[in-house]
Structure 1
Amino acid sequence: MWAAVCAALTIGVSGLAHAADKTTLVVMIRGLDNPYHADYAAGAKALGKALDLPVDVLSSEGNSQKQFSDLKAEIAKTGGNMVVNVDPNEGPDVVPIAKMLESAGVYWVSWWNKPDDIKVEDYPHWVAHISFDAVGQGYFNAKELFKTFKTPNQGTIIAIQGMLSNNAAIDRFKGLQKALKEYPNVKLVQWEAADWDTNKSYEITKQLLSAHPDVDGVWSANDNMALGSIAALKEVGKSGQVKVSGTDGIPDAFDAIKEGTMSSTAYDDARYQAQLGLSMALAAKSGKLDVKATPHKYRAFLIPGAQVTPQNVDQIKAGVGTMPTYDLKNFYARWVAEIK
C-alpha cells in the first residue's frame, strides 16, 4: 500500500488541479500585518493561480473565537469543497478546528501548534501536522547572540517570549534554555511575553532595560518582537551595542542583521508552508494520497529553516526576494525528523 502512496506523490500540480476541480484553497493565519504570515497568503495565491483554483485567506487577528467563526463561515460558503492549511492561533485551538473540519469532511494540514496528547491519526481528514524545528531555532539564535557579547559567551540577557500557549514560542524558549545550560556564564535575568507583537515588545523591553540596564543581549522568540526590542535599545543609545536575536526571517530582520542591530534569525519559508500543506490536502481529497496508509513519521514531522547570520544574510535575502517554483511532487523532500 505504501509503495502505491509513494508512486502517487509523483503527480504534478496540474493533476491536482484536475482532480480537485475548483476546490477553494484556504489558509488560516494570525494576521497580514506580520510579513511571515503575509507570506502564507502569498504562497497560497501563487498556488491558486498555477492551479486555477480560488483562494481564501482567513486572518484571526490573534483572536481564537474569530478563527473559529471564520472557519465555520468558510465551510458554509464553500459547502465543504475546500482544503485548509492552518497555523492555529494557539495549541488548544487545534481540537475545535479538527472537529469542524472533520464534520465537514475537509482535508487539512496544520503547522506549529498542536497539543502533545492530540494525535493526527485520530482524525481521518487531518493529513499532517508539520513544524519547523523550533527548539533548534531558539538554541541556534541564543548561541549566536552569546557570541556578540563584549566578552563572548559571558554576560546577561533578557528574553522576549511569544504567546505562552503557542508551541513555537514554547519550543524556541526551550532552545534558549538548552543554550543557557551549555553556557553557564550567561545568565537570563528576566523574561516577559509580548505575544508576537512589535509594539508590546518595545514597551516590555523598555521596562526590562530600566530594571537591567547593563544586559549584554536580548533574545527574542520572533523577528517582529525583535524589531520592537531594537527600537527600545535605540531609545537608550544602545542599538548595535546590545544585539537582539529573532526567528522567522522577515525582510526587516535581514536589514537589521546587515545594520548590526540583530545577531541572527532563522528563515521559515511560509510560502512553501502554504503550498506544501495545500498540495498535500488536495492530494488527499483527490485520492492521490492515502492518508490512512501514511506512516506516522509522515503524518507529524519537522522540516528545516535556514540559519541567517551576518556571513550569509545577503545570499539568503537574494534568494527570498521573488516567489520560487517549489517541487511539490515529493511532499517529504525536506523531511528532517518525526514528531512523536
Structure 2
Amino acid sequence: MKTITRRLALTAVALAALASAPSFAAEKVVLGVAIPAATHGFTGGIVFWANQAKKDLEKAHPDLQVIVKTASGAPEQANQLQDLQTVNKINALVIFPFESASLTKPVAQVKGKGVYVTVVDRGLTDTSAQDAYISGDNTAFGKIPAEYLAKTMGGKGNLVAMRGIATTLDNERMDAFNSVLKAHPDMKLLDAKYANWNRDDAFKVMQDYLTRFKQIDAVWAADDDMAVGVLKAIDQAKRTDIKIVFGGAGAKGMIKTLMDGKDPRIQANVSYSPKFIYDAIKLTAEARLKGEKLPATYIIPSVLITKDNAAQFYFPDSPF
C-alpha cells in the first residue's frame, strides 16, 4: 500500500490518483463525521477541528452538508453510523473509530450501502471496509520515544509504559517501541498497561507501577494527557528515581513546560496533531464534490520535539 506524505496540498502522486479517478459526483455531498467525544485533551482537539472543518467547508461549498456526531463509546458510535446512513442519508463518511475491532463491521455495512468511507487514525481490522485511510505516523510515534530514551539513558535502565485504547494504532506504536528496545537488552520494559489516553486512568496505572517497582528510570506515557497523570502519581509518591517522562502528541501545556524548562523530567515530545481530522474531512469532501477518490493511504509525519524546536509546535489558542 503506497504511503503519501501530507504537504500544504496533495502531492503530485495524490493529484495523479485524483485525476485518474472516474467522476461520479453526487448533486449534493452529505458527509457524516463520526468521532469520539471530548473525554480528554486530544479528543477535545479532534472535536474542535472537526467542527471547524464543518464551518469552513459548508461556507465554501453550498453543495456540501457536514454532520458531526460525537460518541462516548463504541456501541454509541455504531448506532450513530446507522442513523447517519438511514436518517441523514449520507453518501460519504469520515470516521475516527472509537475502537478498531468493534467498529469494523458497522463501517463495512455503511460502505456496503455505497457510502464512500475515509477512516482516520484508529484503523479498522479489515481494510476492505474503507476507501481511504488518513493517519499520523504511528510507527514513528513509538520509534522516536524509544530511540530518544535509549540515547538519553545510555542504553540501560528500567522503563514502564502506558498504552492507549486497544486499537490498531496503539499496536503499531507499541510494536515500534519494542522493536527499538530489542537492540538494547540492558533496557528493561517492566510493564505496559492500558490507560486509555486518560490522565485519571494513567494516574492509577502509575500508582500501581510505583507500588510494584522500586526502581523506575523512565516512563513512556505515550500521550500528554497520560503524562499529566503519571507526573501527579510520581509527585504524590515523592519518588525521585524517575528522571524522564516522555508523553506524546504535543499538547500545548506540555510543549510550554518543555520550552520553559519547568520540569526536568520533561525533556522531549513527539508530534501528532489532532488537526489531521480537519485535513481528512477537507480532503474527503473536496474529492467527493468532484466525484474523485483519495489515495488509499495518506500519512502525516511525526517528528521529535525538543526545547530547540518546541516553539514551532506551540499553539496557545488551540484547545489541545
TM range (shorter): 0.7 to 0.9
Could you list the per-position Cα deviations for residues 123-162 of structure 1 after superposition, in whole angstroms to 9, with x for gaps in the alignment? 5xx330122221221111122234444xx33211111112
What is the CA distance between 1:220 and its match in structure 2? 1.9
Indicate whether 1:248 and 2:254 are aligned.
no
* 1:99 alignment partner in structure 2: 108
| 1:58 is aligned to 2:59 | no
**CA spacing shift, 1:131–1:115, aligned 2, 3 Å:** same
Partner of 1:270: 274
Which residue in the other structure is 2:119 paired with? 110
2:311 to 301, 309, 314: 314
Counterpart for residue 16 of structure 1: none
The code of the aligned residue for 2:82 comes to K
Please state whether the residue corresponding to 1:262 is helix, strand or coil. Answer: coil
CA distance in 1, matches of 2:139, 2:241: 26
Contact 2:252 2:318 in 1 (8 A): no
Following superposition, the deviation at residue 239 of structure 1 comes to 6.9
Q: Secondary structure at the match of 1:58?
A: strand
Gaps of 5+ in 1: 11-18, 324-340
Deviation at 1:109, TM superposition (A): 0.7
Correspondence 1:208 to 2:209: yes
Partner of 1:138: 142
The separation in 2 between residues aligned to 1:189 and 1:198, in whole angstroms, is 20
- Equivalent in 67, 85, 110 of residue 94 of structure 2: 85
Q: Compared with structure 1, are the counterparts of its residues 232 and 256 closer, same or farther at alpha carbon in structure 2 (3 Å cutoff)?
A: farther
Q: Where does residue 4 of structure 2 map in the other structure?
A: none
Give the match for residue 34 of structure 1.
40
Distance 2:271 2:223 in 1: 10
How far apart, CA to CA, are the structure 2 residues paired with 1:93 and 1:68?
A: 8
TM-score scaled to structure 2, two decimals?
A: 0.80
Q: Please tell me whether the aligned partners of residues 25 and 48 of structure 1 are also in contact (alpha carbons under 8 angstroms).
A: no
Q: Which residue of 2 aligns with 1:285?
A: 288
Out of 161, 166, 177, the position equivalent to 2:163 is 161
Could you say which residue in structure 2 is the equivalent of 1:127? 131
Take 2:82 and 2:217, find their aligned partners in 1: how far apart are those partners?
A: 47
Distance (whole Å) between structure 2 residues aligned to residue 103 and residue 8 of structure 1: 23
Larger relative CO (CA 8 A, sep 6+): 1 or 2? 2
Residue-by-residue CA offset, 1:9-54 (whole Å, 9 max, x unaligned): 59xxxxxxxx777644433222213222222232233232223255
CA contact 1:68–1:96 (8 Å) conserved in 2:
no
| Percent identity of paired positions between Structure 1 and Structure 2 | 21
Count how many residue pairs are aligned between Structure 1 and Structure 2. Answer: 295
Of stretches 184-193 and 52-61 in structure 1, the one that deviates more from structure 2 is: 52-61
3-state SS of paired residue (2:51): helix
Q: Distance in 2 between matches of 1:157 and 1:188?
A: 5
Work out the CA distance in 2 between the residues paired with 1:67 and 1:8. 31
1:262 CA drift (Å):
2.5
Contact 2:136 2:299 in 1 (8 A): yes
Q: CA RMSD in A?
A: 3.0
Distance 1:45 1:239, change over 3 A: farther
